[in-house]
Amino acid sequence: MVNLNTKYLGLDLKSPVIVSSSGLTSSVDKVAKLEEYGAGAVVLKSLFEEQISFEAGNLIDKSDYPEAQDYIHGYVKDNSVEEYLKLIEGSKKKVKIPVIASINCISGKDWVAYAKNIESAGADAIELNVFIVPTDEKKSSEKYETVYYDIVEKVKTKTKLPVAVKIGLHHTNLLNLVNNLYYRGASGVVLFNRFYAPDIDIKAMKFTAAEVFSSPSDIRNSLRWVGIIAGKDIKVDISASTGIHDGAAVIKLVLAGAVTVQMCSALYKHGAEYLKQVTDFVKNWLESKNYKNLDEIRGMMSYRRISDPAIYERAQFMKYFSNYQ
């Protein structure tokens, strides 16, 4: 009998497929529906540091009392966090699957103290979604990466919950970054987060948002780095994200070494019920290959375990596709 039981961040999941932080996980009813269709866990829609600061700034700009700035900022922050805590509490009462809180961070400021409140509300883990745009040409990459470490360290002083860090692709040395995150207390990493991307409308001459959803081809970056990091001696759980659109993608990433995968865009396109189709595909594939569980295949094709690990390192496009006309 095939089972998809998985342990991620020390949590027991009935499936490796997690629904990632998005509008899909923004209400208790939505979370319950995702559990019904087979989600192994959910990452709740993020509490955005940037958005809280923006909303507070708008109210401050409209205020005639500059001395009220601290009060306004504190009020907006507290109110936003309170609503988020209600989402955590309601979800935990409604479902049995792990509920992971998400904090979208741009700094290591004192607002991460709310991690303790998130723990008290019943969350099973915290996912820190971190992205700092490096726009200062005088600031070294090391200085930017220090912000990531600072955030993790501060959160870990406030909570005993396991912490995963969702990071972007573009770092000078991802292996070093992940290793340092582990030593600062991160139990897992999520590869990779997907950000707002600007586009330009050349008719209206204004900025617009680029495509928000991932495509199946986006799996290539996740696959490469999941395989490389899983093949190294870094004791973090890897959750793959971006480009996972079907059951085959789930299997590929587990083979590369992912402990879990996170789906979002495919569920927006096909609905929450698509989760069952994905998990059924994974079960049927395992059964067809005479495997009983995911542990038997996890990391089977990681950097360390394949005969030619240079496959993961190849980057010269023309060398391998020069015959294409």
The total domain count for the chain is 1
Token pair of 167 as six digits:
């990071």
CATH number, domain containing residue 163: 3.20.20.70
Residue-range definition of the domain harbouring residue 314: 6-321
Predicted pLDDT at 134: 79
- Greater pLDDT, 195 or 64: 195
Is position 275 within any domain? yes
* Alpha carbon distance 300, 310 (integer Å): 16
Contact 299, 305 (CB under 8 A): yes
pLDDT digits (tens, 9 = 90+) for 310-319: 888 775 544 5
Predicted pLDDT at 80: 65
Q: Judge whether residue 109 has pLDDT over 50.
A: yes
Place of tokens 């998809």: 4
Q: What's the whole-number average pLDDT of the chain?
A: 85
* Alpha carbon distance 9, 101 (integer Å): 13
Dihedral sign, Cα of residue 225, residue 11, residue 17, residue 107: negative
Predicted pLDDT at 112: 72
Is position 179 within any domain? yes
Confidence band of 170 (pLDDT split at 50, 70, 90): confident
Compute CA distances 22 → 31, 46, 316, whole Å: 11, 7, 35
pLDDT digits (tens, 9 = 90+) for 205-227: 988 877 778 888 889 999 999 99
Is position 66 within any domain? yes
Is position 265 within any domain? yes
Predicted pLDDT at 199: 85
pLDDT digits (tens, 9 = 90+) for 23-56: 999 999 999 999 999 999 999 998 865 444 433 3
pLDDT digits (tens, 9 = 90+) for 222-243: 999 999 999 998 999 999 999 9
Is position 1 within any domain? no
Predicted pLDDT at 324: 52
Is position 63 within any domain? yes
Token pair of 19 as six digits:
């629904």
Place of tokens 């700094």: 107
- Chain center to CA of 56: 26
